[in-house]
Structure 1
Amino acid sequence: MQFLIERFPLYLDGAWVTVQITLGGSALAFVLAMAFGILGTIKHWLPRAVATVYVEVFRGIAAMVLIFWMAYVLPDLTGYRLDRTFAAILAVGLNVGAYGAEVVRAAINAVPKTQVEATVALNLSWFQRMRLVVLPQAWAQMLPTFGNLVIELMKATAVVYLIGVVDLTAIARQVRDATGETVIAYMGALLIYFLIAQVLIFGMRLLERRANRKLGRTPPGGTGLGALLRHPVVPGAGGGVSG
């Protein structure tokens, strides 16, 4: 324990880099997921084709390979070298955004067609239909899976040390090499990764509860702290979101 306490500031520095990449990658993934997910629901073939190409390309490439491409191959092709941390954010964001786009598409398609038809009857524009009726309901359905994707993105950042980013895993390796204490060095990293994941999970559950309350779907067990610690109930349980 004393060993970890003495090196705790080092682990905090590495954890901060991991958090930065996680938050940056999540923000990029969210924007891409919403944009391409919505494009995938449009009836015209061109936007659907664009969305399909993005999803299939970046979902089919391993995050580690994308990280190496952004850090090493892209500079060779373009002559411009990206900051290594930004390269990592770009890679994980593009990768997870492709999975998120399918979540968005499926959630929008899961909104009852009768409600969409009602908005057409009310002469609402496409933007009004999406903003006022479709997305609020789809949002509540997306969040549980979005939470899983954010955790997966955070775990994917554990390989960014391979391109020279001094993240939490890199710090654990440095501590191990300096002291020879393999078990304790990686135990510190394991605990901090676990804590980061729990904070992310708690935040996503807060968003889930808030989205459900807006739709009048208060989950069983109330909305207090105890309810947040229980497994969330997915809106429309039983049917779920189909891919």
Structure 2
Amino acid sequence: MAIVWNYRIEMLNGLWWTVKLAATSAVLAFALAFVAGVARSSHSLWFNVPATIYVEFFRGTSALAQLFWLFYVLPFLGVDLSAFQCGVIGLGLCFSAYGAEVVRICIESVPRGQLEAAAALNLSRFQILRMVVMPEALIMMMPLLSNLLIELIKATSLVSLITIPDLTFQAKSVISKTYQSGAVLLVTLLIYLLISLVVSSSMRKLETHLSRGRSVSNGL
């Protein structure tokens, strides 16, 4: 462990990059997931078909290949993005495709009776989606989105291959300098585990809060 302590600055810097990349990618992924998921659940072909193509493409291709394409191919097409931008966009697009399916499934799981009751009150489609469907579906989404967020955090290790000095990149750098991988990899694994536990706990608290609010509103 003395080796890890000696290189603590590098490891902390890598942790900062990992957290920053995961947070930024998650915001992009969840925003796109909600848009694509709602579009996928729409009966309009103008929304459903493009969203389906988007989801199937990014869900059916490798996240690593997407990162490499953004980082190595786009410059030849005249689009220059930083490594961090490539990482955020690549992970955001990839995981938004999985998130879109979560959103779609949860929206379609809302009891039909609630939709019919809302329609009987002469609510518009947007009002039904905002006031009835999304509050109910969001509670169902939380455990699935929590798992997806943890997968995204672990997938940030891929960005070390496009020169982003994240936690995995720094760990490999320390190993190449010291030729001692055991302690470095153990600490790296524990850091990823700690991040995942914090995220999981936070998402459970958010789920509890949303459920409590829903229960109160139903009681009224």
TM range (shorter): over 0.9
Name whichever structure is richer in helix by fraction.
Answer: 2
2:136 paired residue number:
137
The one-letter amino acid paired with 1:29 is A
**Structure 2 SS opposite 1:216:** helix
TM-fit CA distance, 1:3: 2.1
TM-fit CA distance, 1:188: 1.9
Moved more, 208-217 or 18-27: 208-217
1:157 paired residue number:
156
1:56 aligns with 2:71: no
- Supply the distance in 1 between the matched residues of 2:41 and 2:79 (Cα, whole angstroms): 35
Within 5 A, what are the aligned runs for 1:1-243?
A: 1-77=1-77, 79-216=78-215
After superposition, give the CA deviation of every residue in 1:26-79 in whole Å (9 maximum; x if it has no partner): 1011011100100111111221101101110000011111110111111212x1
Query: 1:84–1:164: 8 Å Cα contact kept in structure 2?
Result: yes
Root mean square deviation of aligned Cα: 1.1
- Supply the distance in 1 between the matched residues of 2:201 and 2:5 (Cα, whole angstroms): 26
The one-letter amino acid paired with 2:34 is M
- Supply the distance in 1 between the matched residues of 2:124 and 2:148 (Cα, whole angstroms): 32
Query: 1:172–1:188: 8 Å Cα contact kept in structure 2?
Result: no
After superposition, give the CA deviation of every residue in 1:146-198 in whole Å (9 maximum; x if it has no partner): 00100111111111111111110111111111111111121221111111111
Moved more, 190-199 or 104-113: 190-199
Q: Which runs of 4+ in 1 moved over 3 A?
A: none
Aligned pairs, number: 216
Question: Per chain length, whose mean CA-contact separation is higher, i.e. which structure has more relative contact order (CA < 8 Å, sep 6+)?
Answer: 2
TM-fit CA distance, 1:101: 0.4
- Supply the distance in 2 between the matched residues of 1:132 and 1:192 (Cα, whole angstroms): 39
1:229 paired residue number:
none
- TM, length-normalised to structure 2: 0.95
The one-letter amino acid paired with 2:206 is L
- TM, length-normalised to structure 1: 0.86
The one-letter amino acid paired with 2:104 is R
Percent identical among aligned pairs is 41
Query: 1:29–1:93: 8 Å Cα contact kept in structure 2?
Result: yes
1:226 paired residue number:
none
